[in-house]
Every structure is written in C-alpha cells, then in structure tokens.
Structure 1
C-alpha cells in the first residue's frame, strides 16, 4: 500500500493518479504504444480470452452434468401419488 492511503480517504489513490497524469495526455489509461507492443498485448489478451472461454465451457458442462443428475434422481424417485 502507498503511504498516502488512509481509510478515511479511499479515493486518495485516484486523486494522486489524476494529479500525476499530464494534461497534454488525452488518454491517461491508454499510453501510446508501438506496433510491437500492441501486437504483444493483443496476443496476451487472446490467450486470456481462450483460457476464460475454456473455463466457461467447463463450468457449463459441469452445470449440465448436475442438471442431468438431478433429473435422473427425480425420475428414479417413487411418486407419492402411486400409493
């Protein structure tokens, strides 16, 4: 943590960021990059996107498996109305 952080002022970090940003910079969150840096960043983001897509697929498959298990248990339960 920075020495400027206090629990009473949670926005101190943002205020410090905006104070250090140069007024000539129109986009403080997106500094100018070379083509190589942009290509490298895009490649990194594509790897992250692939990893997230894979995890989403695994999560979806696990949810569908649990739904199938619940349906199988419900189908095998004796019905109350058949007594």
Structure 2
C-alpha cells in the first residue's frame, strides 16, 4: 500500500492514522494499557471528528448552494 495521499480514497486519512497508531504486529482495537495511550487515542479521534465535521459542513453548504441554483433557474425560466 502506498504511503502517498490519494484524494480519491475517502478513507485514506483514517487508514493512515490507524497504521501509524498501531505498532507492527499489534492488533488495532486492543484496549489501551496506559493513561498516556488513552489520551493519545482521544486526541487522534478528536482530529478525525473535526475533519469529519468540517466535511459535513462543506457537504451541507454544497447542497444548499445547489438548491439555491435550482430555485434561481426555476424563477428565471419563462412561464409556459
């Protein structure tokens, strides 16, 4: 698997985060063993949450923009 970022892959960031967070040979979903590891995982998940929230906001804005364009086109279309 390539370490390069691929914008066409929506899960690339998550996959990269999970690979870097998991030591070689360890299973990714084993319970953390120390407070520091728990805090690190919380921080990583908050980064992912922020990224997803930002993408959700951009998606909502794109939908609203397209709805406004549709309404403008409908309003400017000559009546039959």
| TM-score over 0.5 (shorter chain) | yes
The 10-residue stretch of structure 1 (31-40 or 62-71) with the greater mean CA deviation from structure 2 = 31-40
C-alpha distance in structure 2 between counterparts of 1:32 and 1:42, whole Å: 11
Aligned length: 53
SS of residue matched to 2:78 = coil
Summarize the alignment of residues 1-80 of structure 1 with structure 2, pairs less than 5 Å apart: 29-80=29-80
C-alpha distance in structure 1 between counterparts of 2:53 and 2:32, whole Å: 29
- Gaps (5+ residues) in structure 1? 1-28
SS of residue matched to 2:33 = coil
Q: Deviations over 1:19-69 (max 9, x none)?
A: xxxxxxxxxx43342000000000000010001000100010011000000
TM-score by length of 1: 0.59
TM-score by length of 2: 0.61
- Gaps (5+ residues) in structure 2? 1-28
Q: Which of 1 and 2 has greater Rg? A: 1
